[in-house]
Structure 1
């Protein structure tokens, strides 16, 4: 059974992610688009994973056979490039063949809507129902020939790069960049793009194409997978960034080799939007994001809206509710004036612009916001557990009135169970709805304390992290 998750359908290559299943999804997507738009046009992009180009070609063939004009990227590209092409060309939608940050043996199918951003749960639900009614064994005979003339190879990278440069205004500040900027592209779809913008000032790490994504087996920027970035930042004494496999997640690193997580990047970009871009509106964040976002927003008089996990929940705020910026714990951050979508390369350019305007390197930027808004030390641990333990975890969390000396002030149920402590800080318990995984998060003023809180909660359930 094909089911869409947080952002798209993902499966193991050769098991469930096959040409037949890509064909099924593509035919359902085409039928959905035909029903909703007159004279529809779509774009298809793909990442650097094993067979992504071939899967994209086949998806284009299926969609084009339904009478839809298809633009197929002429090379691998980040998902935001697909999103920008949809938005700028006023297309009906698009597809990105990518499993984003997942392990190398996965691939995926992301659907993008007319505005360029992730498909809503309502849209993917309709596509899933169409898939159920497709007799693929009968339909597949139509798609054995080569792609119709309505599939056109297109350069979607160049206009995307131009939009990143223009919207971030980075070109005004290139000459003021001292030394190098390190970009860990993690063997992913952003390979080569930093050099297009920064020229010789860019040092790209893990830029060679390798669908095994060594040394960690997945292109996911986390505090535990960025050793190459840290090594290069210390070697060149320069600040740097890391992007995930399809270019919609961002982390950063100081010249001292200290990882700067997505929460701090989100916080600093929020300040930039108000202070230097003079933007006014709301800030949207997922329930897993740090409380430092709320403090910065409050300081500048901005309302914060908290949503369940998944950028698809943030998109609604960007489209309908004047959200000037939206972000999530994983590093997906979007700014509405550029795209209704996460964009790591664009965020990096804006972050650099802010750094130059403020006259502070990355470490100084972090120290500055912590001096004004306090320290926020965030820890997340994942536990592989049964459904029974998941249920017990939720019940246990709801009954806590004190943990490690922290008294409970209130409990929020936006997505999972979030326990807020008197005086600040929280514990969040989120059972996965699709995997046998329990995710536990904590934020206090110190990493040690946050970790102890998670360990104490795990001890209540007699479980250990993965």
Structure 2
């Protein structure tokens, strides 16, 4: 924990926006250098122009690759494009438009030249593709999500509206790197003038009454605070307030690409993570001013829930509360609709699912795994421990297939309005009934070779029989919900579990762990987890 974590950013912490944008155009990547290649993680290609990791040539080549990919897939409909408030998002959007127009792709940009949250873009793709057109739409979101101000991000969403799967992203990244290596000869460009517009904001906001009980929220008169953290949801919250006549205050309506108003995250960096107490410190100062207070990250695909009685909720806690509430208050959902969770999310969700009599659908890390179930309604809720989730409409039909932080923040208000209890009080009730687990994620140092070994590790390679004094009853390398590889291992007992996965960006592996025996037992689980994993990958 950095000694300045949770304190207001100082001038020395801020980026030089002009230098960042200048580097975007001036620095040319060399794809023979690993750090300068186009690499798609779970949420697209990310990096800083200052490190020659997110520059004009990256976006030119990646957009051309997306054009070629969609052509190969027979995708001939419009491409929706939107961006968040990061400094690199605007130049990257302009670059992408030059290539899309140069390739005669029908492009739709925001009607009001507004920022576009990730869920609003997913909503737009799905709305078009449900409308019975002869063609299909897809989209691009220009965002590095909650990453620091110096970063840029570029994400492709195919016609299903959610994050592209690894087959698509691998093809796009490989083709983009080929184009860069060939000195950009394949790129076709034109002035980005021939574009159409789309009212992302109204389409999304007007539809909220079909998934959230807005009438109950209004009737309750509860005081709602919403902090966009300088992100793309800023004008959406004002529109939601006005459209549904809510007692809602946009706590901080300011947009600043340096994020000078942010408090520093745990490591001393500016990071717009609404699930981090350090990053949310300035928001937490207002917790007693509202009945419910929420935050979103820069592209609004994550949520942070603040209550007067408990402050910032652990994301796992709110997911459990959301699931218990929704599956008890949505009569239009399929009676066999499963509960989706990533396998590093809290076991409290498992216990809630058992209590509700619902199937638990446990998948690897990555929201893309929930997409098919959300589309056909077989999974009515999908959530990740990193404060990302979405669910289906009142009638059980798909809403978004990407994470929706605005939606989950509004759900917190619905819970207060309908039950008269804060989400944190409702979690305390769950903990009293099921037990109160201690949960934490830590990092362990690992060489690239060890990370590679962990990513390929088979659960059968775990030879330990006990974990923190309890018998090991399972060791998984594939998710039980869909059988997909988890790129690591999960080990569990009756009272605790840990999961280990290699980091995609640092020489560490992540240990997620939880114990229903308390914090001291959790510490022992973490110590033994590291020993078990190190023995298996050394």
Partner secondary structure for residue 138 of structure 1: coil
Distance apart, 1:131 and its partner CA: 2.3
How far off its partner does 1:257 sit?
4.5
Task: Choose which of 470, 474, 486 in structure 2 pairs with 1:406.
Answer: 470
Alignment of 1:43-62 (within 5 A): 43-62=80-99
Deviation larger for 249-258 or 305-314: 249-258
1:102-124 superposed Cα distances (whole Å, 9 cap, x missing partner): 22221111111112111121222
Contact 2:320–2:427 at 8 Å: present in 1 too?
A: no
Please state how far the C-alpha of 1:435 moved relative to its aligned partner. 3.3
1:6 to 33, 42, 49: 42
Please state whether the residue corresponding to 1:192 is helix, strand or coil: helix
Number of aligned residue pairs: 456
- TM-score computed with the length of structure 1 as normaliser: 0.90
* Rounded Cα–Cα distance in structure 1 between residues aligned with 2:249 and 2:310: 15
Q: Which moved more, 1:19-28 or 1:406-415?
A: 406-415
Match of 1:108 among 136, 142, 153: 153
Counterpart CA distance in 1 for 2:410 and 2:209 is 8
Q: 1:321: Cα distance to partner?
A: 7.1
Q: 1:185–1:448: structure 2 CA closer, same or farther, 3 Å change rule?
A: farther
Partner of 1:271: 324
Q: Per the alignment, do residues 136 and 44 of structure 1 end up closer, same or farther by CA in structure 2, a change over 3 Å counting?
A: farther
For structure 1, the residue ranges without an aligned partner over 5 or more in a row are none
1:38 and 1:104 mapped to 2: Cα distance? Answer: 33
Task: Give runs of aligned pairs for residues 9-408 of structure 1, distance below 5 A.
Answer: 9-14=45-50, 15-37=52-74, 39-73=76-110, 74-90=113-129, 91-134=136-179, 135-140=182-187, 142-143=188-189, 145-149=190-194, 151-178=195-222, 180-198=223-241, 201-213=247-259, 214-216=262-264, 217-224=270-277, 225-234=279-288, 236=289, 238-278=291-331, 279=333, 280=335, 281-319=337-375, 322-337=378-393, 338-387=399-448, 390=451, 398-408=462-472
2:501 corresponds to which residue?
A: 430
Counterpart pick for 1:454 among 505, 526, 533: 526
Aligned match of 2:396: none
Tell me, what secondary structure is at the counterpart of 1:309? coil
1:302–1:398 CA distance, 2 compared to 1 (3 A): same
Task: For residue 456 of structure 1, report the CA deviation from its aligned partner.
Answer: 5.2
The verdict on how the C-alpha distance between 1:426 and 1:19 changes in structure 2, with shifts beyond 3 A counting, is same
Between 368-377 and 47-56, report the one with greater CA deviation: 368-377
Shift of 1:29: 0.7
Whole-angstrom distance in 1 between the partners of 2:520 and 2:151: 34
Distance in 2, matches of 1:133 and 1:320, equals 37
Q: How far apart, CA to CA, are the structure 2 residues paired with 1:402 and 1:366?
A: 30
Judged with a 3 Å threshold, the aligned counterparts in structure 2 of structure 1 residues 455 and 230 are, in CA distance, closer, same or farther, namely farther
Any idea what SS the aligned residue of 2:473 has? strand
Decide whether aligned partners of structure 1 residues 295 and 457 sit closer, same or farther in structure 2, where only a CA change above 3 A counts: closer
Give CA-to-partner distance per residue, 1:125-148, whole Å, 9 cap, x none: 2323432443453245x42x5214
The answer to whether the 8 A contact 1:268-1:351 is kept is no
> What is the rounded CA distance, in whole Å, between the counterparts of 1:365 and 1:153 in structure 2?
43
RMSD: 2.6
Aligned residue in 1 for 2:6: none
Using the TM superposition, give the Cα deviation of residue 237 of structure 1 relative to its aligned residue in structure 2, in angstroms: 5.2
Q: 1:136 to 1:45 in 2, by over 3 A?
A: farther
Contact 2:441 2:513 in 1 (8 A): yes
Unpaired segments ≥5 residues, structure 2? 1-36, 130-135, 265-269, 394-398, 479-485
For the 8 Å contact 2:310–2:424, the answer to whether it is kept is: no
Deviation at 1:38, TM superposition (A): 5.8
- Equivalent-residue separation in structure 1 for 2:241 and 2:325 (angstroms): 21
Give per-residue Cα distances to partners, 1:128-180, cap 9 Å, x unaligned. Answer: 3432443453245x42x52142x1243311211112243213134213033x2
Checking the alignment, whether the CA contact within 8 Å between 1:57 and 1:72 is kept in structure 2 is no
Secondary structure of 1:119's counterpart equals coil
Q: 1:222 to 1:65 in 2, by over 3 A?
A: same
Q: Secondary structure at the match of 1:137?
A: coil
Query: TM-score, normalized by length of structure 2?
Result: 0.78
Inter-partner Cα distance in structure 2 for 1:204 and 1:227: 16
SS at match of 1:168: coil
